[in-house]
Amino acid sequence: MCVTFQSIQIMKGIFLYYLLPICCLIWLARCGQPQAKDQQAITTDTSQTIGRDTLLGTDSVNKANEQEKPVPSKDCLPLAQMQTLIIAGHAVDIAIPKDSSLVKANLLILQGWSFPKDDWCKKSSLCKKALAQGYRLIMPEMGKSTYSSRLYPQTLAQWRKYPTLKWVTDSLIPHLQKKYCVMTAEQANFVVGLSTGARGAGLVVMNRPTLFKAAAALSGDFDQRKIPYDKIMTGFYGSIYQFPKRWAGEDNMIVNIQQFSTPFYLGHGKLDRVCPPAQTLQFYQALKKHHPKLKVTLSMPAWAAHNYKYWDYEVDRFLKFFREISQ
């Protein structure tokens, strides 16, 4: 009995001091490894969730995607044959063919300095011919706008109420796209402007280079540095001698000639005493130099001045240019 008890004591000692630690080490080795993998998996999943949702937020990610590729609403409002819309505080005339199913393209019409929005319709054949060819006409009331990107402290107080270039690109066009499904990227869009409106046509396509198939600019100015005496430019930008960077900045099309990619029909009467014909010639030469493959047409009749007799003469010609671009 004593021998048995001693043997048990010896075996117990061996188990406690030798075998038990070994068993514990084996158990920890087998159980610890899966726990490390699970922890690694949890850490990885959490970091992915933070990266996608917590840092930006699910709503932020969705909104970013919407901004990258805006889609017009499927519930588009219909447009009457002739109606006036008020968009961000400014009037816009819309005219469509009698049979709306015949609409083939959109034509943004930009008037001259202080011309009424429907002046081209009343004093030329443009609207009648464009409607007959399936154009939807968009005629904003630009008033005494120079299509400057912004207003400055030196901008005359009586001119500050008129639309800027940003109103055209950031308010007018997006509103028509979202509410009426007009001037969307999938449609054929064109723009034409005369005098100050020609400057506007150039600046619009410079800032929205992929939206328009072609532009027509008649009797416009494109490099205000060449006309430092111009009272209208001075009234918006301040004196060129005080603010030369403004005159050579974001609204100067010659300085920013590399940004153009839209085909142009350019016209200017050689007898123009309001806006120098050299302005259009300079713009044409700059486009041909920097974009030799771009389709650009120049028309400079020797008899033409700064009036509707000349601008009406060009209607058939730039509409034909638009048709050729569309083919």
Same domain, 33 and 57: yes
Identify the domain boundary among 67, 88, 120. 67
What are the tens digits of pLDDT across the range 105-116?
A: 999 999 999 999
pLDDT at 61 over 60: no
Q: 268 by DSSP, 3-state: which?
A: coil
Same domain, 185 and 315: yes
Report yes or no: 130 and 185 within 8 Å, Cβ to Cβ: no
Q: Which is more confidently placed, 158 or 40?
A: 158
Predicted local distance difference test score (pLDDT) of residue 258: 97
Q: 74 by DSSP, 3-state: which?
A: coil
Q: How many domains, the chain? A: 2
* DSSP 8-class letter at 76: P
Question: Any idea what the CATH number is for the domain that residue 127 is in?
Answer: 3.40.50.1820
Predicted local distance difference test score (pLDDT) of residue 57: 33
CA within 13 Å, CB half, 201 = 36
Domain residue limits at 24 = 2-67
pLDDT at 246 over 70: yes
What's the chain's average pLDDT? 84
Q: Report the C-alpha gap between 257 and 285 in whole angstroms.
A: 11
Q: What is the DSSP string of 198-249?
A: HHHHHHHHHHSTTT-SEEEEES----GGG-TT-HHHHHHH--TTT-HHHHTS
Same domain, 245 and 189: yes
What are the tens digits of pLDDT across the range 146-198?
A: 999 999 999 999 999 999 999 999 999 999 999 999 999 999 999 999 999 99
